Structure 1
Amino acid sequence: MKRQRLMLITARFFAGAALILFYLTSCTNYWLHAVTCGSDNNTQSAETQLSDSQTQKTPTDNATELKSGTDSRRTAMSLTGRDKSSLVGSSMPENGNLQHQKKKINTDNEFTYNVFSLLLKDNRLTYHHEGFTWRCSFTDKEAENQHSKFITIFQPPVKCCVHAFYSPFPSDPKFINAEFQSKLVYRKLWSALMFLGVIIVTIGFIYMIYKACRQKHEIYKIVGVIFLIGGICFTLSIIMYACWISAISWMIAKEIANCTSANNNTKYGVDYGWSFMAAPFAVLLSVIAGGLFIKLSAAERSESSTTI
């Protein structure tokens, strides 16, 4: 009797721990960790935007600006009573003033560009992490231990998050092709199996508490089977996500190969996250709890048969 009681307490402990890990792994958005080069592309785009803003004016626009400037000067002279003779004398200061203003604008643009470039040079890498509900990304400077960037307290206060189910990593339009769509089945199967595993284990835990309150232990075999099925579903979900990570790693291999960094320890690419590492422990605890419940049911059945 003492052995069965100890077995029951141990099975309940493992069942509770498995349920907690199931919820943690499904609710946290760290099944995937990815590091891509963000500063070079951002810098190039910033250079393009600034150069375009400086060269987007056509000769027609310049002529329109000169015409509007001349009209405004004529209006000002007519209001102040200045004649045509004063126009010649005043053209030199006005042209000098115009050149000075243009020089000042160019200096301001150059200063803005330099500041923006310095800010982008500090933010070299783009970090991505993904889970069942959200896919988040943020840009930050390189770190000696880049895995620390996936800890919440070391992340910047502002990051971009979208629904992961509708927009999984990578979200770049150039990767959304027929090959991406064919591999997306792994991501969908992972979501379905993980959700199913969490629901099954939750039902088993509720059923276990119900029977514990009723002080009936003869149907613990059902609870054990439920926990075993939940563990199998979660195992299949882990396999599906491993296939998904290997697929997207191969798809973005060329883009990652073009990344350059000042730090030789920087590891670009896609890797398994904290939640993915914790999922096998949840499966292990669930299988152990299911086995203990089944063994407990068999022991009680044999004891009741010998008593009769």
Structure 2
Amino acid sequence: MKLSVALFFAGLFGALAAVFILLSFGTDYWLLASETCKTVSTERGELVVNDTADAGNTSVFYHEGFFWRCSFGGRVEEDSMLKFWFTNQPHSKVCIHAYLFPFPLSEKTHNATTYDSAIIYRGFWSVFVLLGVTAVILGGFIIICAAPFASYCLYKAGGGLFLISGFFLLAATMMFVIWVEVMDVVGSYVIYQKAHLCSGFQLNIIYGLSFMFAPVGVFFCLLSGLLFLLIGRSVQMHCR
């Protein structure tokens, strides 16, 4: 009876882990950003700041994930982040492949060494995400084959894969935070834009739903992995 209850919760947590991980992997909303250019002018000895969005020009909004980096134009409003909802985005948005594309570095704005380092960093992040998704899918199939209490080896293997998936995705989530918050790539991008394109350039960045799904999936993945390992150990003890 206790094993059946434990198996139910382990399966439930494993299913939730797979859902959140696949949502995080398949949706391109890890990072949401908006770019605005404010021009500075002088009138009668006073400093006047003109927002180009108020003048009728559009700002640039973009969101990025594992597969795609999409951008579209729009006016800056108080609830500008609502523009990223599926129903609010225009059909004219432009999307490019984001795999190994380092946000927000480019060959035009940075030297070859910095750009190559960004490619390598993004490459490791992509590999960790792929390994985490692959491990949770394989773990789910193995657990299905193990039911009901057919083999303790399958339960241990499935639990181990869930734990591996959780650790890889946890590392990917931490790498993404380090990429945005700690490393100076965003600051370098803003400095370049101010120096070459717009002195009043502003960049607003927030984490999207895809990023939020990742730690939730990691939590359920680690929890279900531990439960499956305990179930496998209990089945092995009963078989002796």
TM over 0.5: yes
Q: Give yes or no for contact 2:35–2:61 (8 Å, CA) kept in 1.
A: yes
Report 1:126-137 matches (<5 A). 126-137=60-71
Contact 1:201 1:227 in 2 (8 A): yes
- For the pair shown, the structure with the greater C-alpha radius of gyration is 1
Q: How does 1:21-100 map to 2 (within 5 A)?
A: 21-37=20-36
1:198–1:258 CA distance, 2 compared to 1 (3 A): same
Alignment of 1:1-308 (within 5 A): 2-37=1-36, 121-170=55-104, 173-177=107-111, 178-212=113-147, 215-219=149-153, 220-246=155-181, 247=183, 248-254=185-191, 255=193, 258-259=199-200, 268-305=203-240
Whether the 8 Å contact between 1:136 and 1:159 is mirrored in structure 2 is yes
Q: Which runs of 5+ in 1 are unaligned?
A: 41-117, 261-266
The C-alpha deviation readout for 1:230-280, integer Å capped at 9, x for no partner, is 1111111112222222333222232369436xxxxxx73333222111100
| Residue 295 of structure 1, CA deviation | 1.1
Letter in structure 1 aligned against 2:62: H
Distance 1:171 1:251, change over 3 A: closer
Shift of 1:171: 6.0
CA distance in structure 1 between the aligned counterparts of 2:171 and 2:57, rounded to whole angstroms = 38
Whether contact under 8 Å (1:183, 1:244) holds in the other structure is no
Q: Which amino acid aligns with 2:63?
A: H
Contact 1:30 1:275 in 2 (8 A): yes
Measured at CA, do residues 129 and 203 of structure 1 come closer, stay the same or move farther in structure 2, by a change above 3 Å? same
Change (3 A) 1:171 1:179: closer
Identity of counterpart residues, as a percentage? Answer: 30
Instruction: Give the Å deviation of 1:8.
Output: 0.2
Deviations, residues 184-220 of structure 1 (Å, cap 9, x unaligned): 322111111101110111111011111226x504221
Q: Which residue of 2 aligns with 1:48?
A: none
In structure 1, what is the Cα distance between the partners aligned to 2:222 and 2:239?
26
User: TM (normalized to structure 2)?
Assistant: 0.82
TM-superposed CA distance for 1:223, in Å, is: 1.0
Structure 2 CA distance, aligned partners of 1:180 and 1:273? Answer: 25
Scaled by the length of structure 1, the TM-score of the pair is 0.65
Question: Structure 1's 140 and 303: CA in aligned 2 closer, same or farther, altered over 3 A?
Answer: same
Q: 1:38 touches 1:139 (CA, 8 Å); kept in 2? A: no
Q: Deviations over 1:66-124 (max 9, x none)?
A: xxxxxxxxxxxxxxxxxxxxxxxxxxxxxxxxxxxxxxxxxxxxxxxxxxxx9994343
Classify 1:181/1:38 alpha carbon distance in 2 versus 1 (closer, same or farther; 3 Å).
farther
Larger deviation: 129-138 or 237-246?
237-246
CA distance in 2, matches of 1:288, 1:164: 31
Q: Is the 8 A contact 1:228 1:287 kept in 2?
A: yes
Q: How many residues align?
A: 220
* One-letter code aligned to 1:144: E
- Unaligned 5+ segments in structure 2 are 40-51
Hey, what's the Cα distance between the residues in 2 that align with 1:39 and 1:120? Answer: 10
Larger proportion of strand: 2
Structure 1 or 2: larger helix share?
1
Distance (Å, rounded) in 2 between the aligned partners of 1:166 and 1:190: 9
In angstroms, what is the RMSD of aligned CA positions? 2.5
Q: Tell me: CA distance 1:39–1:149, structure 2 relative to 1, closer, same or farther (3 Å).
A: farther
Could you say if the C-alpha distance between residues 37 and 172 of structure 1 is closer, same or farther in structure 2, counting changes exceeding 3 Å? farther
Shift in Å at residue 293 of structure 1? 0.5
